[in-house]
Structures are given as C-alpha cells and as structure tokens.
Amino acid sequence: MERDRNPGTGGETHQHPDAGGDRLTTAQGIPVSDNQNTLKAGPRGPSLLEDFHFREKMFHFDHERIPERVVHARGYAAHGFFEVTDAIPDLTAAHLFGEKGRRVPVFTRFSTVAGNKGSPDLARDVRGFAVKFYTEEGNWDLVGNNIPVFFIQDAMKFPDLIHAAKQEPDRGFPQAQTAHDNFWDFISLMPEAMHMVMWIMSDRTIPRSLRFMEGFGVHTFRFVNAEGKGHFVKFHWKPKVGMQSVLWDEAVKINGADPDFHRRDIWNAIQAGDFPEWELGVQVFDDAFADSFDFDVLDATKLIPEELVPVRIIGRMVLDRLVDNFFAETEQVAFCTQNIVPGIDFTNDPLLQGRNFSYLDTQIKRLGGPNFTHIPINAPRCPMHHFQQDGHMAMHNPKGRANYEPNGWAKGGPRADLKGGFRSFPEEIVGEKRKIRAETFADHYSQARQFYVSQTDIEQGHIADALVFELSKVVALEVRTRMVAHLPHIDADLAAKVADGLGLDGVPTPHTPARKPISDLVASDALSILKNGPDSFAGRKLGLLVTDGIDDDAFDALKEAVEKAGGMVEIVAPKVGGIVTAGGRKVPADQKIDGAPSVLYDAVAILATTEGATALAGMHPARTFVADAFAHAKFIGLSEGTDPLLDAAGVKPDAGVMTIGAAKDAQAFVQTLGALRYWDRKTA
Ligand code: HDE
C-alpha cells in the first residue's frame, strides 16, 4: 500500500492560492530579504522593535488558534455529495428531495463529544455526525449523532451534562472519558439518561471506523409538502458497508498505537478511492401514529423502532474528497441546527428548541463575529440577497446605495417571496406559560430495556463489562451503588452481573420509577450491531506480518484475494525497509512491527519461514501481535513454519486460525473474514 497519495503532501511549496511566485513576502506583500534572523543592532546586540517582518510573523502565529468547540472539539470532515434515489415531493417541498438523481454537495464532520481537540479517537464516546447540505434553497444542517437518542430531555440540562462529562474542574482530568465520579454522579441522578446509558455502554461508542457507523437526526422533525400538509420525520444514515465496532481492550490499545486511528482511516479510504457511503432513510409518520405511540415523539430520549415505522431509503451520501486545509474547512465549519430549508421544519422537542439558540451563539464566539457565513465552507452555494452589512471581517460587501427594504432604488428588490419563501408549519399552540416537563416524558426505563434485550449475548456481555469498567473508576461507593440501583428496571440479570462485577453486597434496592416501566416491548434487531454487520471484508484491513524468504505465490495469492474482496493489506515486517521473498523480490513494508500492533487490523495473517518465525518469537511486539489478535477473537491466517511464534505467544490454534499455504486457501480465508470475528473463541 502506498502510504500517502494525497497530491497536497508531495512536498511542493506551501503557498496561498494567490501566491504569485517564489519570492517570500510579508502579509502586506513586502519582499523579505532574510527569514532566518531578527533585525539587530550589531551581530550580538539587542533585537530592534522596528523589525516589522518579525513582529508581523510572530503576531500572526500568536493568533493561529480559535476557541475549540465546547463539545465535539475533536472532529474530522470530508466533502461529498447527496443524491436522491427515491424522490418524495408528496411528503416535502424541499427542493433537494424533489427529483430522483438530484445531487447537492455536502460537507460532513464526524466528532467525539467530550474530549478536547487533541484527544484520542477511540475514546468511549458518542460520535457526532453532522452534515451540511448546500442546497439550491440554502444550507440545511442535519447535526446528528451515531446514537438515535440523547441523555436529556430539555436543553436546560445540557451545560450540566457536559460539565459532568468533561474533565473535573478542580483537577483538569480525566479528559475524553466518562469513567469518573462527576459523570456517574450526575447520570445516576438523572433517570431520563438510562436509555442513552445503555447505548453508550454498548459497542456503539467504540466504532471501528467512522465509515462503519450509523447516523441519526435524533429529534423528530417535520416535513411540509407544497400543499402545506405536515408529517413527522426522523432521519437515519445507514453505512453501506455495514456496522462494526472494536472491543474495549482494542480501543485502549489503539489510542496508544494510533490516536488518530479514525481520521487516518477516513483519509486512507478516500485517498484509495474507496469512498465512504451511507444511505439516507426516513421514518415518516402522522399525528395518529404519534398519538398512539407508547412514548412522546417530542422526547429525544426515545426512538421509534424500525419494526414499527420502517425506514424508507430516499438517497445516498458519498464522501469523495478530502479537505484542502483542515483549519479553513474542518475547524471553521459552523453547523447550526436552525439552518433548515423550505419543506423541513422543527418540532417542539425542547432539546431541539434549545439547540436552535445554542449553535448560532457558539459560532459567534468561535469564529469571532457575525460574518462567519462569509467563510467559504459556511457560505451557501446558492444566490443570497439581503441587507445585512458590515461587521468584523466582512468579505462580501454589497455595491450601490440601497441597504434597506423596502427601497425605491433599482427595481426595488430583493423582496420576500410569500409563496416560495420559508414558512413555519402553522401548528396551533395553546398552553400556560410555565417552566415544566410534560407528563408524557415520564417513562425512563422501558426503551432502555428494549435496547438491552435486542442485543446478542455477546453485546449484552459488553454492556455489562463496560458498566463494571466505568463504575470501577468511580471512587465514591455511593455513586456506584446509586447507579446500579437503576439497572433492575432494565434487566435483572444485568443488574446482578454489574453488582457482582463491582463487588457490591448484592443488587441495591431499585429507585422508585416516575412511571411504571413497560417490560414487554418487542425486541428490535435493528438496534444490534452484530445483527447488522457486513457480509464481506470490503473496506476492511488485513495486517500481514512477513519475514524474509516467504513463498511468492502464497504472498501474491493472499494480497490478491483481499483486494478482490475490496479490502486492504498492510505489510508489517521486522524492518520498515521490508523483506526479500524466496523468489528474490524485495517487498517494502508499510509498518515496522513495533508500530503496528494487531489492534489496528480487522484480521491478521503471518507468512514466515521457520527461521523467520523463530526470530519473530524473540520479539515482544511480534508475540503480542499474535496473542492479541487471538484474544480479540480475530481470524488468523498462517503459513507453514509459523509454529515457533505461535508457541512463544501461547496461542493454541482453533477453527478461527487457518492455514493459507496455497492460493485456494487464501480465497477461503478471505471469504471467512467477512464474519470479522471468530466469536466462538470469545464465548468459549
Ligand atoms: Fe450539540 N452542540 N448540543 N448536540 N452538537 C454543538 O455547536 C448543544 C446535541 C452535535 O461537527 C456546539 O458548533 C446543545 C444533540 C454535533 O461542528 C454547541 C444541546 C445532538 C456537534 C452545541 C446539544 C448534538 C454539536 C458546540 C442540547 C445530536 C458538532 C460547537 C440542547 C442530535 C458539530 C458547535 C460539528 C456541537 C450545543 C445536544 C450533535 C455548543 C445546547 C442532541 C454533531 O452549540
């Protein structure tokens, strides 16, 4: 695999787009004669204040950072397009959904929530999934997550939630993790969070790749068609290559081996032309369904099972272009939930209503003024006509005399478009003005249970393990106990397992629920990752550990079989310079063994001579390469002669460890890899 094929990193001079040649200048365009030394009075004398070149260079450097996002600080984004595959003009007047085949450009940013900008990618955390659609009728921002529900029901609690999740204020740690007292103290006092707790303790929060996860709009939105008729809608993104997560032990190790694991994965995939793709689906329903549903559709801690309201696929999103400049695009992009287009509307979900204030407000702080829509990544790609003017960094300044409406100059325009302009759905509202939570939001446990019982045994085990791990990091016994006292309402067995894992004296007395939970909601297969995995190795990566003297045919056959299946092979060797095959061919390595633990791969294979395997057996990273792959239930392909390494690693081959001596073995091996893990080993 070529390491880096991005044309932008080929070593050419870093120039501004308008740079005219080779001559270095100041930002004012003044030619520079010396870029190594400050201006001095004598070679050993003091620096002079007069050195405008030095002062400008340092001043600009000092101001390179803008405030990181208060949440979702760490993110990665790419450009692409959205294409309609099933037009829905009957449901919405939104131009972008009006015609099959219609395409609009998108910019999509994925993120973790709690960690700071420099935090590792494999933190156990919700992933942001924010899409900016540059439509012909303005920008629509669908600012969602990879989990369809949220912790809280009312925006009033968001600052508390985030304060509790981020590093504790006195000590400044831990960051990028919820395994600490403040988080679980808060959560255990918030029964409404229990459904989300099941999701965050599941493998959803440790995705293998941003390419292999679902996305959700979370809130109920509204579609409005040309006749003004409204429907409720929930948005879903479904990854074309299926879902996949890592194991917790892998996450912990990946964070050390490659803290940029997720962003590197997106970068490599797009560079290799393996463009990440999702389908956009909608769950559409009316007032009658909303009234009959067990829960309130305005409550963001609830989802609507796909088995109840099927997801209708209406389009696809393909991310096919990396950014040119991380700061200009990924850092400066300003998603705003209130950016919607005619044909789409909000509902009264009190979380969404609060977000509609917060996002605009936060952009002014981060980007420094009201003209952030002038920054190219935020600018609509359709015509704009308004009378807003001036302000910090105004880049698009109108010409002419008229800066108010109505005016009698020119032809009097632009004017509001009564028919085509955005109009809110004319919902009738009556009610007392009060700070209040609706009674219909009072059920906190039923869907938490439904999520749990929808998981496979393996996934249920991971949820229990994650709860035990996180709560074991909590110092205060009362917090651990208070949290576990919620679990009997979700599942008795889960409560018992976690209580036992924490060494509590039995399951604590359950809290009194605000409303009696419904315990017989039907399980939903759509909620499980393992029931919705891939059926091939496409988009996945094999770590191939090799030594000198290996058989050329076995090597070629394996590489070819993986690539034919749409996967990638990364060559790992004792030296980065690579190896020489039995046939005398020099094969460069992508990684030296010390820098490529098997946690970075979806499956591994080892092609080695007996001599090579004996040498590997003496290397700790080579032994853990195999031992970890085995412990993580990965498939392992082996050539003859690898026994010394296996013995040294303490691995006793089972049915998930396969011989790949001949070409046909390679094909069978790669076919097996579609299952991703040999779970029988884990359960055994
Ligand atoms: Fe956000 N959220 N959020 N959020 N959120 C931000 O906006 C906020 C919520 C989400 O890649 C901030 O530009 C409030 C739910 C994503 O740039 C801020 C509430 C969901 C991103 C903000 C929520 C999200 C943000 C910080 C509760 C899933 C990153 C910087 C009422 C549906 C977007 C920024 C990107 C970012 C506020 C809850 C998703 C502070 C007040 C629910 C993906 O405005």
Q: Which of 53, 79, 145, 195 is catalytic?
A: 145
- Which atom belonging to ligand 1 lies closest to the Cα atom of 358? 44
- pLDDT tops 60 at residue 650: yes
Residue 326 alpha carbon to ligand 1 centre in Å: 20
Residue 215 alpha carbon to ligand 1 centre in Å: 14
Q: Which of 53, 72, 219, 444 is catalytic?
A: 72
What per-residue string of b and e applies to 324-355 under the rule 16 or more CB within 10 Å gives b?
eeeeebbbbbbbbbebbbbbbbbbebbbbbbb
The architecture (CATH level 2) of 72-355 comes to Beta Barrel (2.40)
pLDDT at res. 125 = 98
pLDDT top residue among 16 and 518: 518
pLDDT (mean) for 176-194: 98
Residue 46 alpha carbon to ligand 1 centre in Å: 50
- pLDDT tops 60 at residue 370: yes
pLDDT at res. 9 = 44
pLDDT at res. 14 = 58
396 among known catalytic residues: no
- pLDDT tops 70 at residue 534: yes
> For 250-270, what is each residue's pLDDT tens digit?
999 999 999 999 999 999 999
Residue 71 alpha carbon to ligand 1 centre in Å: 7
- pLDDT tops 60 at residue 6: no
- pLDDT tops 60 at residue 504: yes
- pLDDT tops 80 at residue 349: yes
pLDDT at res. 18 = 59
pLDDT at res. 10 = 42
Nearest CA to ligand 1 atom 42: 150
Nearest CA to ligand 1 atom 30: 69
- Which atom belonging to ligand 1 lies closest to the Cα atom of 351? 31
Pairing of the two strands 230-239 and 215-216: antiparallel
Using alpha carbons only, what angle is made at residue 680 by residues 677 and 682, rounded to the nearest 5 degrees?
A: 75
* Contact between 224 and 345 (Cβ < 8 Å): yes
Q: Ligand 1: which of 70, 71, 131 to mutate, most ligand atoms within 8 Å of CB?
A: 71
CA dihedral sign, ordered 248, 194, 445, 526: negative
Element (H, E) at 52: helix 52-62
- pLDDT tops 90 at residue 13: no
- Which atom belonging to ligand 1 lies closest to the Cα atom of 72? 29
Q: Ligand 1: which of 74, 329, 359 to mutate, most ligand atoms within 8 Å of CB?
A: 359
Q: What is the reported pTM?
A: 0.96
Nearest CA to ligand 1 atom 16: 128
Q: Ligand 1: which of 66, 68, 69, 220 to mutate, most ligand atoms within 8 Å of CB?
A: 69
User: What's the CA gap between 630 and 39, in Å, rounded?
Assistant: 62
Task: Write the DSSP assignment of 176-195 as a string of letters.
Answer: S---SHHHHHHHHT-GGGHH
What are the extents of the domains in the chain?
72-355, 442-530, 535-683
Task: Tell me, rounded to whole angstroms, the distance of Cα 607 from its chain centroid.
Answer: 34
Residue 56 alpha carbon to ligand 1 centre in Å: 36
Nearest CA to ligand 1 atom 39: 144
**What is the percent of the chain with per-residue pLDDT over 70, rounded to a whole number?**
97
- pLDDT tops 80 at residue 243: yes
Residue 202 alpha carbon to ligand 1 centre in Å: 21
Residue 454 alpha carbon to ligand 1 centre in Å: 28
pLDDT at res. 7 = 46
Residue 378 alpha carbon to ligand 1 centre in Å: 16
pLDDT (mean) for 655-673: 92
| Across 21-25, 275-279, 302-306, 322-326, least confident range | 21-25
Nearest CA to ligand 1 atom 32: 144
| Class level of CATH domain 535-683 | alpha beta
684 confidence band (pLDDT: 50, 70, 90): low
Per CATH, the homologous superfamily of domain 442-530 is: Catalase, four-helical domain (1.20.1370.20)
- pLDDT tops 80 at residue 1: no
Nearest CA to ligand 1 atom 38: 355
pLDDT at res. 21 = 77
348 among known catalytic residues: no
- pLDDT tops 90 at residue 70: yes
Main-chain phi, psi angles of 136, to 5 degrees: -70, -15
* Contact between 158 and 67 (Cβ < 8 Å): no
**Residues 6 or more apart from 516 whose CB is under 8 A from it?**
none
662 confidence band (pLDDT: 50, 70, 90): confident
| Across 117-131, 273-287, 662-676, least confident range | 662-676
* Contact between 124 and 135 (Cβ < 8 Å): no
Per the DSSP assignment, residues forming a β-bridge with 236 are: 216, 281
**Residues 6 or more apart from 512 whose CB is under 8 A from it?**
none
pLDDT at res. 301 = 98
Residues with CB under 6 A from ligand 1: 69-72, 75, 109, 111, 128, 130, 143-145, 150, 155, 158, 218, 300, 333, 335, 351, 354-355, 358-359, 362
- Which atom belonging to ligand 1 lies closest to the Cα atom of 143? 43
> For 143-171, what is each residue's pLDDT tens digit?
999 999 999 999 999 999 999 999 999 99
- Which atom belonging to ligand 1 lies closest to the Cα atom of 334? 13
- pLDDT tops 80 at residue 83: yes
pLDDT at res. 231 = 98
- pLDDT tops 80 at residue 95: yes
Nearest CA to ligand 1 atom 14: 355
Residue 211 alpha carbon to ligand 1 centre in Å: 20
Pairing of the two strands 541-546 and 603-607: parallel
Using alpha carbons only, what angle is made at residue 265 by residues 264 and 269, rounded to the nearest 5 degrees?
A: 115
Nearest CA to ligand 1 atom 11: 109
- Which atom belonging to ligand 1 lies closest to the Cα atom of 359? 44
Long-range contacts, 510-517 (Cβ 8 Å, 24+): 510/485, 510/486, 511/191, 511/485, 511/486, 513/191, 513/444, 513/445, 513/489, 514/191, 514/442, 514/443, 514/444, 515/442, 515/443, 515/444, 517/443, 517/444, 517/445, 517/446, 517/449, 517/489
Average pLDDT, the chain: 96
248 confidence band (pLDDT: 50, 70, 90): very high
- pLDDT tops 60 at residue 12: no
